[in-house]
Amino acid sequence: MPGETKHGVECSQFEALLSEAIDGQLSGARKQSFEAHARVCAVCGPLIADALAGQQWLKSLEEVEPPAQLLHNILASTSGISSARLRATTPERRAAGIGERVRQWWDSFVTPTAAFVRQPRFVMSFGMVFFSFSLILSSAGVKPSDVASINLRPSALKRTYYTTQGKVVKFYENIRFVYEIESRVREFKKSTTPAEPGPAKPTQNRKTNDTSGQPDQKQERNYSQEANQPVLAGLPAGAPIAPLLRDEVEKLPPDVTVTTNRRFV
Amino acid sequence: VHQALQKLSPELREAVILRDLQDMDYRDIAGALKVPEGTVKSRINRGRAELARLLQRTYRQVM
């Protein structure tokens, strides 16, 4: 009975040990329990004799040489290559001519490769490859008519190169991001320039209209005043005075107010 | 023997042929047939026994 334990060995274990027993690899306690089970079990006992008999029948078979075209016939029936082409690659039919060698190489390499590639399971792969290429080319703006009209003369290639380079540079310079960064840098420069101490140059040597590069100076001229409007001029306290005028100044009261109709230029 | 082998089921026949005619070991047979090693041993034993029974039956009929 399957699953029945007799002498410590179940029938399923007996079947697993049977191969080792036939091969002579079983020894010790396992061999004793195996033989004990074979003597007692009505199912497993005859199994040893049958298996041994079957092995002896198979061992009695003589080994035969396979037919020379067996491999080619198998390949022809499984890969679809015609047996005539396969037969041409057999060693006894090889010729020494170069044309024959090329044909043999073609038959031995290209034809099997083509037959392998032509299998229906690759159809979808090739379709996907073609679709991917066409999608990439169409997204890149390449058309088959453009490819056909390409001029391969050196001057044309040079002109194409410089035209493309000009387009790329123009595109780069027109990028909004670059423009914004440049404008920010310009603003930053403009805002930091007044903080820097400028050179102490005499202002009378400069043109009055040229104010470029300088901060906005305080306009002291009153453009709204009329030509006959009196202008008050005062001497600030502690201002340096020429030594010859010092005595005249000391005679005057501390605050002198001068009224004039002349217009300061 | 060839006719008896043809009557075996394909699973038993390929296991028996690989073991007793090609002299492969159990691990290689298990790898080639993609089945566990215990299954290979079981198939070999059953294939051998079935082959012996078929041949004995044929022998009795002839006699």
- The rounded distance, in Å, linking the Cα atoms of B8 and B2 is 10
- Check CB contact under 8 Å for A55 and B20: yes
Yes or no: say if B51 and A57 are a contact pair by the CB < 8 Å rule.
yes
Confidence band for A185, pLDDT divided at 50, 70 and 90: very high
So what's the pLDDT on residue A136?
92
Measured CA to CA in angstroms, residue A214 lies from A21, A105, A203, A218, B19 at distances of 109, 85, 12, 12, 102
Please tell me which residue, A237 or A20, carries the higher pLDDT value: A20
**Could you say which of B4, B16, B49 has the minimum Cβ distance to residue A50?**
B49
Closest residue in A to B5 (Cα) is: A58
Both tokens of residue B16? 């028996």
Instruction: Tell me if ipTM is over 0.85.
Output: no
Closest residue in B to A53 (Cα) is: B52
Q: Residue A80, by phi and psi: left (phi above 0), alpha (psi -120 to 50) or beta?
A: left
For chains A and B, what is the number of CB pairs under 8 angstroms? 57
Q: How many CB atoms lie within 10 A of CB A8?
A: 13
So what's the pLDDT on residue A154?
84
So what's the pLDDT on residue B5?
85
Residues of chain B contacting A18 with CB distance shorter than 8 Å: 41, 45
Measured CA to CA in angstroms, residue A162 lies from A83, A165, A167, A169, A173 at distances of 59, 5, 9, 10, 16
pLDDT along chain B (63 residues), means of 10: 85 90 88 90 89 85 74
**Could you say which of A54, A60, A63 has the minimum Cβ distance to residue B49?**
A54
So what's the pLDDT on residue A162?
92
Position B58, amino acid? T
Query: Three-class SS of residue A5?
Result: strand
Yes or no: say if B19 and A55 are a contact pair by the CB < 8 Å rule.
no
Position A91, amino acid? P
Residue whose C-alpha is closest to residue A76's, from A85, A63, A67: A85
- Check CB contact under 8 Å for B50 and A55: no
Residue whose C-alpha is closest to residue A45's, from A20, A18, A16: A18
Query: Is the pLDDT score of A143 beyond 60?
Result: yes
Query: What end-to-end distance do the CA atoms of chain B give, in Å?
Result: 17
So what's the pLDDT on residue A1?
44
Yes or no: say if A69 and A75 are a contact pair by the CB < 8 Å rule.
no
Position A169, amino acid? V
Q: What is the pLDDT of residues B6-17, one digit of tens each?
A: 888 989 999 988
Strongest mean pLDDT among A82-91, A171-180, A197-206: A171-180
- The rounded distance, in Å, linking the Cα atoms of B49 and B51 is 5
Query: Is the pLDDT score of A131 beyond 90?
Result: yes
Q: How many CB atoms lie within 10 A of CB A141?
A: 7
Residues of chain A contacting B20 with CB distance shorter than 8 Å: 55, 58-59
* B41 to chain A, closest Cα gap in Å: 6
So what's the pLDDT on residue A83?
53
Q: How many CB atoms lie within 10 A of CB B50?
A: 20
* A44 to chain B, closest Cα gap in Å: 11
Task: Compute chain B's Rg from CA coordinates.
Answer: 12
